[in-house]
């Protein structure tokens, strides 16, 4: 008889029971660990990576990782520039045919860009396509100047609108997403903005599904490789600067279910897209078919900055004061968005 068996046989009944419970707990822990490991998604540099998956029908958070950590938005900034443009179109301040002048400052913005000489102009319809597909910095600044007088004033308007939408941790400093160490956001805030764009402007949301557009006799192609390749993906926006890594906000609508998926800080566009695809595959079956809308800024349960979240949490939050803008561990650099 082995020493292990002899030892166990001499224990009291209570001690034996305690050992059984302990061994069962260890077995369960091993099983749980295996299960959690089996559903991990690829993640990038932890100082840049963030992600969130939201049920597009009711705002329920299905998954999150660093969702409240401040990140650089890069060209995801243009989602708010477009939100403000759509508002101006609805109010009658702009029409699709309105010509937007391109100032010398706007024309001098670094790529990506359409390429204008100072004094030229672009119609609003083409300008919206240029932001959704080419992510044109010169056009973004021209729109900002047309709506705000100056880009600086427009960025202040963007930040005020962010608060109205419940984006409590976002500060905008320009209309394009070009590097600025004080221009910050979170994955959670970008998900809110993506949902608000679909809910508020369904008549304009199809712009985000455009893979290319024609302008001045040229076909200009976009950066979002998920469009047309992943079933149900119908937008929204990509972004990149070196300080942010590869970002994306993705809208999915299929079989009566909707998701908004945000991934920030990808090492490459390919790895970022692969993570989005895995998140869609995993969480789309969990999305509700309910058509119950989500208010632009309802009061609800805050989203904790943890690796995962309980299904009861939702995105909506009341407005909050401007946060500090220090972004620990991610130095700002003067690189330009390529998406």
pLDDT category at 314 given cuts 50, 70, 90 is confident
**What mean pLDDT value characterizes the chain?**
82
Distances (CA, A) of 176 to 3, 206, 278: 72, 21, 29
pLDDT category at 290 given cuts 50, 70, 90 is low
Residue found by looking up tokens 């764009």 in the block: 197
Q: Tell me what the mean pLDDT of segment 14-38 comes to.
A: 39
Residue 223, pLDDT > 90, answer no
pLDDT category at 21 given cuts 50, 70, 90 is very low
Using DSSP bridges, classify how beta strands 245-254 and 233-241 pair: parallel, antiparallel or unpaired. Answer: antiparallel
pLDDT category at 182 given cuts 50, 70, 90 is very high
pTM value is 0.79
Return the top range by mean pLDDT from 26-35, 157-166, 308-317. 157-166
Task: Show binding-site residues.
Answer: 237
Contacts 24+ apart (CB under 8 A), 285-288: 285/257, 286/55, 286/62, 286/311, 287/55, 287/56, 287/57, 287/62, 287/257, 287/258, 287/259, 288/55, 288/57, 288/58, 288/60, 288/257
CATH superfamily ID and name for 49-286: DD-peptidase/beta-lactamase superfamily (3.40.710.10)
Residue 44, pLDDT > 70, answer no
Q: Alpha-carbon distance 204 to 139, whole Å?
A: 18
Query: Comparing C-alpha atoms, which of 107, 129, 111 is closest to residue 119?
Result: 107
Higher pLDDT, 215 or 29: 215
What are φ and ψ of residue 334, in 5° steps?
A: -85, 45
Q: Tell me what the mean pLDDT of segment 204-216 comes to.
A: 93
Give me the pLDDT at residue 328, please. Answer: 37
pLDDT category at 315 given cuts 50, 70, 90 is confident
Query: How many residues are there in the chain?
Result: 339
Q: Hey, which residues are catalytic here?
A: 75, 78, 135
| Cβ–Cβ under 8 Å, residues 239 and 248 | yes
User: Is residue 302 packed enough to be buried (19+ CB in 10 Å), middle (13-18) or exposed (0-12)?
Assistant: middle
Task: Show binding-site residues for substrate.
Answer: 237
Q: Which helix (H) or strand (E) holds 62?
A: strand 61-65
> Could you tell me how many helices (H) and strands (E) the chain has, helices first?
9, 9
231-252 burial string, b = 16+ CB within 10 Å, else e? ebbbbbbbbbbbbbbbbbbbbb
Give me the pLDDT at residue 337, please. Answer: 59
pLDDT > 90 fraction of the chain, expressed in percent and rounded: 67
Q: Tell me what the mean pLDDT of segment 240-258 comes to.
A: 96
- The tens digit of pLDDT for each residue in 137-172 reads 999 999 999 999 999 999 999 999 999 999 999 999
> Which of 39-48, 79-88, 132-141 has the weakest average pLDDT?
39-48
Q: Alpha-carbon distance 136 to 128, whole Å?
A: 10
- Domain segments of the chain as ranges: 3-33, 49-286
Residue 89, pLDDT > 50, answer yes
Residue 35, pLDDT > 50, answer no
Query: What tokens does 72 get?
Result: 């650089």
């Amino acid at each position: 008889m082995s020493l292990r068996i002899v030892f166990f046989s001499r224990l009291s009944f209570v001690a034996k029971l305690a050992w059984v419970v302990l061994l069962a707990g260890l077995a369960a822990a091993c099983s749980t660990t295996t299960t959690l490991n089996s559903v991990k998604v690829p993640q990038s540099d932890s100082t840049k990576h963030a992600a969130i998956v939201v049920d597009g029908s009711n705002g329920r958070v299905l998954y999150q990782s660093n969702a409240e950590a401040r990140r650089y938005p890069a060209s995801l900034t243009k989602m708010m520039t477009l939100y403000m443009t759509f508002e101006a179109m609805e109010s009658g301040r702009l029409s699709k045919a309105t010509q937007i002048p391109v100032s010398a400052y706007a024309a001098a913005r670094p790529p990506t860009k359409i390429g204008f000489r100072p004094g030229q102009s672009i119609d609003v319809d083409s300008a919206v396509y240029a932001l959704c597909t080419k992510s044109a910095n010169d056009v973004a600044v021209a729109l900002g100047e047309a709506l705000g007088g100056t880009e600086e004033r427009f960025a202040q308007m963007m930040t005020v609108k962010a608060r109205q939408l419940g984006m409590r941790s976002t500060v905008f400093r320009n209309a394009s997403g070009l590097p600025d160490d004080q221009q910050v956001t979170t994955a959670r805030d970008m998900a809110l903005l993506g949902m608000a764009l679909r809910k508020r402007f369904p008549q304009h949301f199809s712009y985000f599904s455009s893979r290319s557009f024609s302008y001045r006799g040229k076909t200009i192609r976009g950066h979002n490789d998920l469009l047309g390749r992943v079933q149900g993906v119908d937008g929204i926006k990509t972004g990149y600067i070196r300080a942010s890594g590869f970002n994306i906000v993705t809208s999915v609508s299929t079989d009566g279910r909707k998701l908004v998926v945000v991934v920030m800080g990808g090492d490459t566009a390919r790895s970022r897209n692969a993570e989005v695809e895995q998140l869609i595959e995993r969480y789309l079956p969990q999305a509700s078919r309910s058509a119950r809308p989500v208010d632009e800024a309802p009061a609800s349960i805050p989203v904790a900055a943890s690796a995962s979240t309980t299904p009861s949490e939702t995105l909506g939050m009341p407005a909050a004061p401007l946060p500090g803008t220090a972004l620990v561990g991610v130095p700002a650099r003067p690189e330009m968005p390529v998406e």
